[in-house]
Structure 1
Amino acid sequence: MKRAILPALAILIAAQSPAYAINDKYRKQLEQSGCTQVSETQGCDIHKTKAENAKAGFTNPAADNPGTQTPYAGQWVAKSEAGTTVATIRIDAKEQVWVNGKRVNAKRTDGTLQFREGKIVFTIQGDRRLQNQDYWTDRDAGTKGPIQIE
């Protein structure tokens, strides 16, 4: 009897189908919502659209646009505390930066992208979940203000 149990157990274990982490319906929900399994645990809602989740700060750049692998890419506007436009900023997928149509050098530093135009230093946070962390400063004039994505 013991001889029959061991081979039967081995056959039973080998014949079981593999378990998958997610099913097809869940995978489609993740794709349509722009969420990942990790971002879902952080609050990304798989029942909302990509646009709604992006507005809430949840983006998946690799899934949204495979050519855009940087969180900095897009059109940005630097505003004064009074609300007037200080500069318009464009950043492409290769992290090339233009301020008011003029190409400037940029560097990554401590999770941010920093660049300078004249006396103004611009700092854009790489983690798009962090709100109100993009800013500009003019140390000579002693002014600063927010940078917002359009």
Structure 2
Amino acid sequence: MKRIILPALATMMLVQLPAYAINDKYRKQLEQSGCTQVSETQGCDIHKSKAENAKAGFTNPAADSTNTQTPYAGQWVAKSDAGATVATIRIDAKEQVWVNGKRVNAKRTDGTLQFHQGKLTFTIQGDRRLQNEDYWTDSDAGTKGPIQIE
């Protein structure tokens, strides 16, 4: 009996064809309607337009994220403990950063945007619900201060 079952299982495993979750037509319907497979199960209609589905309360956050502005964008001011301006910072929608009018490279790390100018390191928190988490540090002088949005 084992002689028959083992070869039969091996043959079945080799003969199986790959399964695809969605076909091309269904994918296009999802794209045109603004639905996802999950939102479709919640009532999003793939036969309607994106605008009609958005009006009904269904949106695709992954597709809409390209229009979302970065939480870092804006005019910022780094201040000393005494209240003096240490640096003025400008961040655009593409997360390009200028410190005192000079372009600097920035990188995202652990939910923050960090960038350097000279001995100064600037850290801006991405979660805008957190207050007083934006700061600068001077590695040479060992000082630290807040960064505030204008």
Deviation at 1:113, TM superposition (A): 0.1
Which residues of structure 2 form unaligned runs of 5+? 1-41, 44-63
The 5 Å alignment of 1:35-54 reads: none
Match of 1:59 in 2: none
User: Which has more radius of gyration?
Assistant: 2
Match of 2:86 in 1: 86
Match of 1:116 in 2: 116
* TM-score of the two chains, using structure 1 as the length reference: 0.56
Q: Distance in 2 between matches of 1:119 and 1:144?
A: 12
**Greater than 2 Å deviation, 4+ residue runs:** none
SS at match of 1:114: strand
Q: Distance in 1 between matches of 2:108 and 2:142?
A: 24
Match of 1:105 in 2: 105
- Aligned Cα RMSD in Å? 2.5
Q: Distance in 2 between matches of 1:69 and 1:112?
A: 15
Match of 2:143 in 1: 143
Structure 1 vs Structure 2: percent identity of aligned residues? Answer: 85
* TM-score of the two chains, using structure 2 as the length reference: 0.56
Q: How many residues end up aligned between the 2 structures?
A: 93
Deviation at 1:69, TM superposition (A): 2.2
